A = this chain, B = another copy of it.
Amino acid sequence: MEIIRIPKVMQDTVGGLLIRGRTIGFVPTMGALHEGHLSLVRRSREENEKTVVSIFVNPLQFGPSEDFARYPRDIEGDVEKLEAERVDILFMPEASLMYPVGFSTRVEVGTISETMCGACRPGHFAGVATVVAKLFHIVKPTRAYFGQKDFQQAVVIRRMVKDLNMDVEIVVCPTVREKDGLAMSSRNMYLSGEQRPAAAVLFRSLKGTAESLASGIIQIGEVRHVLRQKILSEPAVSSVDYAGAYDPETLEELAEPKGEILLACAVWIGSTRLIDNILINIKKER
């Protein structure tokens, strides 16, 4: 595996691959890699001739009071995992090369950036869209792979790609879960031994709410309340940023059922913020 740290070198390297007609799969990550990331890498390896993974903890997408400084880092472990997956290139730039003095451009992606996580983390999705635009220009992928766990992120990136005519296919892969249902996330490392089993409450509550909705025990207008109550029934949960039923395209909260429905939540367990979601299909009544 080749390790590249300079954006211009990365760009020239893929330039050489593209002129030889190679397809390039790209998995952008913030490192601290887990099975979720590796599932994206495997999918990329299946679908492309070359696979590039980036590791960059992007300061632009963290708020001033957020966990940028303590975000988990494990470069040695990450390199080992990516070598084992036979990744072709690891791109690992310094922040000073990604955001040199004078940097002042932002990619802003409208209203879908302002609901859900965007409402709790102002500027977060502009930070995500901006760094992903940069990475796409540096890596020039044929396809780029994102996890469904970060559903809103994937929607924002698809919107940006479509709106700005970026020539890259966005592939969203299923959330990979622990045995008890907890969605894999680098932030799970923050959980104490006591908090870890409690964190299964997110997926359990989403699934339980989906079942109640499917069987007609609750209506869509009740999801917000029911889902929140289920989550708060777990004593380790300190607070709920949001919980509800959303339109998977516009991310607007749904007042009535409409084809596919996104059930999603963001939950604090102690000082750790976790997110999860599931997509469901409720048959419309006639």
Contacts and interface: CB of A to CB of B under 8 A. Distances in A.
Nearest to A126: B108
A164 B133 contact: yes
A19 interface: yes
Contacts of A18: 18-19
A140 interface: yes
Interface string A111-155: 110000000000000000110011001101000000000000000
Given A21-B19, A159-B104, A137 B166 contact: yes
A110 interface: yes
A105 B108 contact: yes
A144 to B, nearest CB: 14
A21 B133 CA distance: 24
A108 B109 contact: no
A139 to B, nearest CB: 10
A167 interface: yes
Contacts of A109: 104-105
A272 B159 CA distance: 37
Contact of A11 (B110, B134, B165): B165
Residue of A110, A137, A159 with highest tally of chain B CB at under 10 A? A137
Interface string A152-163: 000000011001
Contact of A106 (B108, B112, B138): B108
Contacts of A167: 11, 15, 137, 140
B165 A105 contact: no
A13 to B, nearest CB: 12
B107 A111 contact: no
17 contacts: A7-B165, A19-B19, A104-B111, A104-B112, A104-B163, A105-B107, A105-B109, A105-B110, A105-B159, A105-B163, A106-B108, A106-B110, A107-B108, A130-B164, A134-B163, A137-B165, A140-B167
Given A103-B163, A107-B108, A137-B164, 8 more contacts: A104-B159, A105-B160, A106-B108, A107-B107, A134-B164, A137-B167, A138-B165, A140-B167
